[in-house]
A and B are shown apart, each in its own frame.
Chain A
Amino acid sequence: MNRFAALIDALVFMPSRNGKIRLLVEHFATVPDPERGWALAALTGALSFREAKPAAIRELAATRVDPELLALSYDYVGDLAETVALIWPERPERANSLPPSLDEVVEALRAAKRGQVIGLVEGWLDTLDSSGRFALLKLITGALRIGVSARLAKTALAEWGKAARPEVSVDDVEEVWHGLTAPYAELFAWLEGRAEQPATGAGAGFRPMMLSHPLEEEDRAGLDPAAYAAEWKWDGIRVQMVARGGERRLYSRTGDDVSGAFPDIVDHMSFDAVLDGELLVARDGVVAPFNDLQQRLNRKTVTAQMLRDGPAWVRLYDILFDGDEDLRGLSFVERRARLERWYETVRPRRMDLSPLVPFDRWDELVELREGARENGIEGLMLKRRDSAYLAGRPKGPWFKWKRGALTLDTVMMYAQRGHGKRSSYYSDYTFGVWRGEELVPVGKAYSGFTDAELVELDRWVRNHTTRRYGPVREVEAGLVLEVAFDSVHLSNRHKSGLAMRFPRIHRIRWDKPAHEADRLETLAAMVAG
């Protein structure tokens, strides 16, 4: 555990991205298999231990520490693993027992039967020091949040691999990634030049997705309309359907396997292809509000009623593989033709094609984009006709052009501490609008402002606090936040009866008196039809 704990500590305190890559490269180069592989699995979120969920860790800590003090500490620190690592009482006899190795920890957890995990964790916590406890808890709860993304870890792998494999890029690592399992011996062997590249073509692994940039006005001026195709940007979640050699998987944009939650899609994937599309809830071909889809997200399993009430649908954008044939090198136009042909032949149920939107001039599109207020449309996608399907977010071939956001002048009501890097700042704001003489909360936002503005907002919150509830402060009705959001829907989960989609702080109206902020009726009139 020591090398791993030292790596985690060093990563936490390393402010620069390049410095983090250096630390990771050094770790891969000097730590043997399988320890480095388990470390990589931890950093990329590939390890998960069923019973070591945060709630169980919290319960365990509460057996050693006053639960009230634990709760207050967690509110303050903002990170459960760190809280428990710091608050866990040191045992004087610790010096006599040897802390476990990372390999030992992983193997023991894998072999553990239901009900044994927490006991193991408890024993280890008693033998580790504070850094070791932190690393252990981060490892077993599977959410490191130490400023290293899976992508950064893979970048470091490619960087380290350059010594033996100068041609390797991070996308090559992504490409093979989903066919592999921890502790990745074959991956390290390949990058050290001791073995061939692991196979990618077969198997139901995830292929890195192609992502778009937001279209800025100044970009558009330089673009030739004839070079781009347009299609609607549907308001669901981007998915990749992989059906290869009898295996079927549905992946989110980040490669998370969400098959379990959508049997109504997976059941109909009786083909051999890799497709890119938007997952929606649709009834009789009509797309339902995003809220309906939300009911079905983040679930391991679904009930019959959920399948009935919120039937899933995939609107197809692209085809990556047709059988064994890799189509990603073809142009968008060629892939689109293949997609249409494939769809005609296969006719999969619960899926349709996302139609192209014909246009000649940008102003036609502007009009179409603003006119489309129906459910499910977020805006437009522009795709270069000659662009191959590239992993990652290359600038130029694909743009997303969201419908103009709605905005509303609201009043800040509560502020809450952020988590992680923002744990000392009041960075999450609940805002409300007027109903008669009172404010009713209508949403919460924690983005859309700069770091400098965050410092100002935080100061304002501290100077205008009227009450405190743990990590939350109630503030005077004195600061107008202009909030931007994509749409608003009826909701019985909110006091105001309305729920905003993607609210974010658009502008801070330091100049505007609170009583001039908007009223609830104004928001109600914006509800999507």
Chain B
Amino acid sequence: MSAAHQSNQGGANPSRPHPDTWIKVLPEGLFVEPGGFYIDPVRPVERAVVTHGHSDHARPGNRSVLATSGTLAIMRQRMGEGVGGSLQALDYGETLRIGDVTVRMVPAGHVLGSAQVVMEHAGSRVVVSGDYKRRLDRTCAPFEPVPCDVFVTEATFGLPVFRHPPDLGEVCKLLHSMALFPERSHVVGVYALGKCQRLITLLRAAGYDRPIWLHGALEPLCRLYSSLGVELGELRPATVAAKEELKGALVLAPPAAVADRWARRLADPVVAVASGWMRVRQRARQRGVELPLVISDHADWDELCQTLEDVGAPEVWVTHGREEALVHYATGRGIRARALALIGFEDEDSEGMPEKAGEGEAS
């Protein structure tokens, strides 16, 4: 187990091949050759290891899937029959030998079931962290830093302009607005997986105990979370029939719906969106958001930098997001860093695009 932090500066060592000789970027995704599996492949493959249930990471049609039982439950819920061939659970802390690679799952703190894939092969340890964050989330296990030789990180919010303020302050902004405009509905755009349930737990923790109304697209995953033991309190469907009751109510909906025809059932709604992108005013403005809430399931800039510090890897690969800035920062800290240029993940701000808003959810 102890490959991490051994000197790896000496260049080629035949007995300890550099990880870039056994982990490759192929059109299907990140391929771990000695294990014969892909991590979060973007096209169907023989053998997939999936970090978490967001649709840009967990895709249907793989012959076999390895993921935490939480992620598998989410995938089954979302994909039904199309989920793939055989599903195998590997829970946090469990170890599995695949080919010539030892694989372990460690919490990533992103959404329920999200995991970092920790791999050991030929004397090196590589951690593929998937998407992650470092702050408290009552809906999932907290991120655990694992010392390693190569740390593979996301960079969704990889610019120093992205500093997510404390969650509680953002939730208070929402509660304050609801007190100020008690006659108006407040509709909050949230992604169906993760953000929705996290916002509910934040509201409950802040003492909001009234029923929360849900767009139909959010219901199945809330049910799943509840069945897995996440307390969400009283939830009700925001149907047209409930129009009268929706006055002054708090309604959660997918981001694409909050300013769309669906929202016509709401009385003079205050449009809010809960997302890390809301930190940039122009972005919020562009989407017609009146009440931006900076609540994210991704690490902000400080968390990304802190994580590089915590894992202490001499080498970092950046998968998706604003790679350039994080690579620059890491290089300045004496870390060898490069962008992997993976395709198919939430592209920069595609989340800001109207037509993608219902689909993409990782923010």
Residue pair A424, B352 in contact (C-beta under 8 Å): yes
Q: Which A residues between 138 and 173 are near B, CB-CB below 8 angstroms?
A: 147
A459 to B161, CA, bound (A): 25
Is A115 engaged at the interface, CB distance under 8 Å to the other chain?
Answer: no
Asked, given contacts A15-B288, A77-B280, whether A455 binds B328 with beta carbons under 8 Å apart, the answer is no
A:340-356 near B, CB below 8 Å: none
Complex contacts, B350 vs chain A, CB 8 Å: 462
Name the contact of A72 in the complex, choosing from B282, B324, B347, B354 (C-beta under 8 A): B324
Contact A420 B282 (CB under 8 A): yes
> Are B329 and A69 neighbours in the complex by a CB distance under 8 Å?
yes
Number of A interface residues, CB 8 Å? 32
A residues 1-41 touching B (CB-CB < 8 Å): 9, 12-15
Is A132 located at the chain interface by the 8 A CB criterion? no
Contact partners of A425 in chain B: CB under 8 A: 353
Residue from the list A15, A72, A73, A462 in contact with B285, Cβ < 8 A: A15
A68, A420, A470: which has the most chain B beta carbons within 10 Å? A68
Across-interface contacts of B353 in A (CB, < 8 A): 424-425, 455, 458-459
Q: Which of B34-42, B145-153, B180-188, B289-297 participates in binding chain A?
A: B289-297
Instruction: Report how many residues on chain B are interfacial, defined by Cβ distance under 8 Å.
Output: 31
Q: Which residue of B lies closest to A11 (CB)?
A: B285
Residue A82 at the chain B interface, CB threshold 8 Å: yes
Q: Are A77 and B292 in contact (CB under 8 A)?
A: no
Main secondary structure of the interface of A (DSSP, over half): helix
B161 in contact with A147 (CB, 8 Å): no
Docked-complex contact B280 and A14, CB < 8 angstroms: no
A376 beta carbon closer than 8 Å to chain B: no
A505–B319 Cα gap in the complex (Å)? Answer: 35
Residue ID in chain A nearest B356 by CB atoms: A459
Chain A 457-471 near chain B by CB (<8 Å), digits 1 or 0: 011001000000010
Complex interface: chain A residues within 8 A of B334 (CB):
none
Find out whether the CB atom of A86 lies under 8 angstroms from the CB atom of B280.
yes
Cβ of A87 within 8 Å of any chain B Cβ, yes or no, is yes
Q: Is the CB of A76 within 8 A of B292?
A: no
Closest chain-B Cβ to A277's Cβ sits at a distance in Å of: 38
- A48 is an interface residue with CB less than 8 A from chain B: no
Contact assessment for B290 and A15 in the assembled complex, using a CB-CB cutoff below 8 Å: yes
Report B-chain residues with C-beta under 8 Å of the C-beta of A72.
Answer: 159, 322, 324-325, 328
Taking the complex as formed, is A44 at the interface, i.e. its CB lies under 8 A from any CB of chain B? no
Answer whether residue B283 sits at the interface, using C-beta atoms and an 8 A cutoff: yes
- The reply to whether B329 and A77 form a contact with Cβ atoms under 8 Å apart is no
A79 within 8 A of B: yes
Contact between B282 and A68, CB atoms less than 8 A apart: no
Beta-carbon contacts of B172-184 to A below 8 Å, as 1s and 0s? Answer: 0000000000000
Map CB proximity to A onto B272-313 as digits: 1 under 8 Å, 0 otherwise: 000000011111111011111000000000000000000000
**Contacts A13-B292, A86-B279, A424-B349; is A76 near B285 (CB within 8 Å)?**
no
- List the A side residues contacting B329 at CB < 8 Å: 66, 69
Complex Cα distance A15/B269, Å? 13
Residues of chain B within 8 A (CB-CB) of A66 are 160, 328-329, 332
Report B9-23 CB contacts with A as 1/0, cut-off 8 Å.
Answer: 000000000000000
Contact with B along A408-428 (1 / 0, CB 8 A): 000000000000111111000
Give me the 3 closest cross-chain CB pairs, A-B, nearest first: A86-B161, A424-B352, A15-B288
Q: Could you list 27 A-B pairs, sorted by A, with CB under 8 Å?
A: A13-B281, A15-B285, A65-B160, A66-B160, A68-B325, A69-B159, A69-B325, A72-B159, A72-B325, A73-B161, A76-B159, A77-B161, A78-B282, A83-B161, A86-B279, A86-B280, A420-B282, A421-B282, A421-B286, A423-B280, A423-B286, A424-B283, A424-B349, A424-B352, A425-B353, A455-B355, A459-B355
- Give 10 new A-B contacts, CB below 8 A, not counting A73-B159, A77-B280, A87-B160: A9-B281, A14-B290, A15-B288, A15-B290, A72-B324, A421-B285, A422-B286, A423-B283, A424-B352, A462-B347
